[in-house]
Amino acid sequence: MAEAVKSVASAVADMVISNVVYIDEDTGVDAPETLGTKDLPFKSLLGALIHSSVKDARYESRKSKTGTPEETREEYKPVAKAALKKATNAHSAHIKKEAKKGELAAKEAEQKAARDAQLEAAKSVIIVEDASKPAAKKIKIRDTTAHRNTRVAISGWAHRVRHQKNMIFITLRDGTGLLQCILADKLTESYDAMTLTNETTLTLYGELKELPAGAHAPGGHELIVDYYKIIGKAPGGEEAITNIVAPDADPQTKYNYRHLTLRGDTASATLKVRAAVVKAFRRSFDDLGLLEVTPPCMVQTQCEGGATLFEFDYYGEKAYLTQSSQLYLETCLPSLGDVFCIQESFRAEKSLTRRHLSEYTHIEGELAFVTFDDLLNHLEDLVCRTIDTVWNDPPTRAFIQELNDDANKDEKKRFEKGEVTELKHYEFKPPSRPFRRMRYSEAIEWLNEHGIPNEDDEPHKFGDDIAEAAERRMTDMLNEPIFLTHFPVEIKAFYMKKDPQDPRVTESVDCLMPGVGEIVGGSMRMEDLEELLDAYRRVGIPADPYYWFTDQRKYGTTPHGGYGIGLERFLAWMCGRWTVKECSLYPRWMGRCTP
Ligand code: 4AD
């Protein structure tokens, strides 16, 4: 230690005598403690000018020669005049910049102190309700139009907050709508008002006033607030909701924070359309004379193939989460007539696609004494009636239009990033009737005529399962709903009835919609007992657990058929959503079962 102190002291003495400041581009360090001696040189001339305190210094440097051994490196040479001039100019600019930085920091500190003082003073501002005002009526935002010019109390979440001189604009959200609320003067001076953040819950009291001509806000009115109560504060800064689920956050983050994402305009609009669609389906079913039933979700039979079964232990027995309620609906026909259900279905899908979920809402119907043609006509009627109901409801139509407009903005971003090669235009229009009807064999020809290959990159042949990509291409190119019918026996479920005219194919239908592809799967069911028993054998299903299903053919059989509609796919089509995940409240897919 003493040695080191001595050597530093002698180095300083050397430098003071020689007046030379050394710069070594390899070993030097630009720092305040650097001495500028040969032992402790600076790294750059600018660094030396900034940190060295030697009077009337002369500068000597040696160039960088990384990797060269010390003994072979060239000696220090005086710095050229031009280089010194350049560095001196840079030094002056540096001094100015530092001075400016200092001024800015001082200003910021001053502003912060002023704001702190203001906030401290704000703590003593107490907002009290004016007892002379009429009592406020507690209402929801959906009821605001009927309460214009009256004093109301509305509770909700601060969806957006904008501070302006002497005014705070709050867009309040209560799940039933949005409302612009204005706080002015004294009301803006309390600590709570000054620190108000998005998602804080509060009750706002005041009078609802119609907007002057030319002004815009949800509902065409605003709440002129005269009193408020904060109920629960939400964090600002790093933890602010806008930082956690920013509009451009990556999808995984958005699904991790689905509980917060749901508060956003897009997710809530999609879920509102979802509720309207479910309600409209129930109405259509009612109008068409189908009765609602609630089949079990825990079952011991399969419906759509063993590969996608979710198995679980049921008190020591093997059981599954239902893939479809179809088999149970069939058993209801003799006692309840035509039936439907809106129930969760589960598929252990191993593929991560835009249209597959592990749990989805399945809208299924089953009809007795029908022909295949009756079934197709009924399905078309059901879909079109439901769409008409939804489309003729102005708020729901507005949501669908906004979501499709949004989809076009997202599509533009994907196109700019090169994620899609064609710029698709999203716009929902109720489909015209009748739907195009196309047999599977015609689709195979169509795909080949249009050069769309199968999964092995070969021309499609009879018997191929038309893959998602090819199906999507075809549907998008035809750009209208398609009833694709008569699929080969081998690629369809065991229970499907064969076409009496062509036993190679089944009386089956997939309804394809532009943008999504298949949204409905349906068929006529085998009604003959022996044929069904053969079918079990063909696919290797033990008949015993299906005795209750088989019995339908034993105790008075009937020609019958039905279908299943994937609600999330139906919504993705209507709302122009990129994936069905956006159409589920808390979507589940391979790798995600939370939150
Ligand atoms: O074509 P699928 O498998 O048909 C059935 O389950 C029949 N038993 C229904 C019936 O006839 N009652 O499924 C019907 C529909 C599909 O067209 C699709 O819309 C949806 O259910 N679907 C899915 N949606 C999201 N994620 C999945 N993994 C889906 N699998 C099917």
Query: At 579, which CATH number?
Result: 3.30.930.10
Q: How far is the CA of 577 from the centre of ligand 1 (A)?
A: 18
Same domain as 273, residue 147: no
Q: Is the CB of 563 under 6 A from ligand 1?
A: yes
Q: Does 281 share its domain with 217?
A: no
CATH of the domain at 15: 3.30.1910
Decide if 125 is inside a domain.
no
Q: Is the CB of 293 under 6 A from ligand 1?
A: no
CA 330 / ligand 1 centre spacing (Å): 16
pLDDT at 351: 82
CATH of the domain at 183: 2.40.50.140
Nearest CA to ligand 1 atom 2: 521
Per-residue DSSP letters for 397-457?
Answer: HHHHHHHHHHHHHHHHHHHHTTS-SS-PPP---PPPSSPEEEEHHHHHHHHHHTT---TTS
Q: In this structure, is residue 72 part of a structural domain?
A: yes
Are 75 and 12 contained in the same domain?
yes
Total domains in the fold of the chain: 3
Domain closes at, from 37, 63, 79: 79
Residues 220 and 288 in one domain: no
User: What global pTM score does this model have?
Assistant: 0.84
| Residue 494 near ligand 1, beta carbon < 6 Å | no
Q: 48, 63, 79: which is the final residue of a domain?
A: 79
Ligand 1 atom closest to the Cα of residue 323 is 6
Residue 367 lies in a domain: yes
Same-domain pairing of 315 and 416: yes
Give the domain range for residue 429. 266-434+523-583
| Span 23-61, pLDDT tens digits | 998 889 999 999 999 889 999 999 999 999 888 899 999
Tokens coding 288:
């068409």
Ligand 1 touching residue 566 (CB < 6 A) = yes
- Do both 201 and 294 map to the same domain? no
C-beta of 24 in contact with ligand 1 (< 6 A): no
Within this chain, do residues 273 and 229 fall inside the same structural domain, yes or no? Answer: no
486 belongs to a structural domain: no
Q: Are residues 282 and 418 in the same domain?
A: yes
Which of 79, 95, 124 corresponds to the end of one domain? 79
273 shares a domain with 228: no
214 DSSP 8-state letter? T
| Atom of ligand 1 at shortest range from CA of 562 | 11
Q: Is residue 105 part of a domain?
A: no
Residues 175, 46 within the same domain: no
pLDDT of residue 155: 98
In the prediction, which pLDDT does 18 show?
Answer: 73
Q: What pLDDT score was predicted for residue 12?
A: 53
Q: Quick check: is 253 in a domain?
A: no
Based on the fold, state whether residues 159 and 233 are members of the same structural domain: yes
Question: Which tokens hold the place of 83?
Answer: 């280089």
Asked if residue 453 has a cis previous peptide bond (ω within 30° of 0), the answer is no
Structure tokens of 156? 């909700």
Q: Angle between the 265-287 and 372-391 helix axes, to the nearest 10 degrees?
A: 130
| Order of strands, sheet of 58-62, starting from the edge strand that comes earlier in the sequence | 20-24, 58-62, 77-78
Is 472 near ligand 1, meaning CB less than 6 Å away?
A: no
- The answer to whether residue 24 sits within a structural domain is yes
In a shared domain, residues 428 and 546: yes
Write the pLDDT tens digit of every residue in 147-179. 999 999 999 999 999 999 899 999 999 999 999
pLDDT lower than 70: segments of the chain: 1-17, 66-71
| Whole-number Å distance between alpha carbons of 310 and 296 | 15
Residue 68's pLDDT is: 65
Domain contains 122:
no
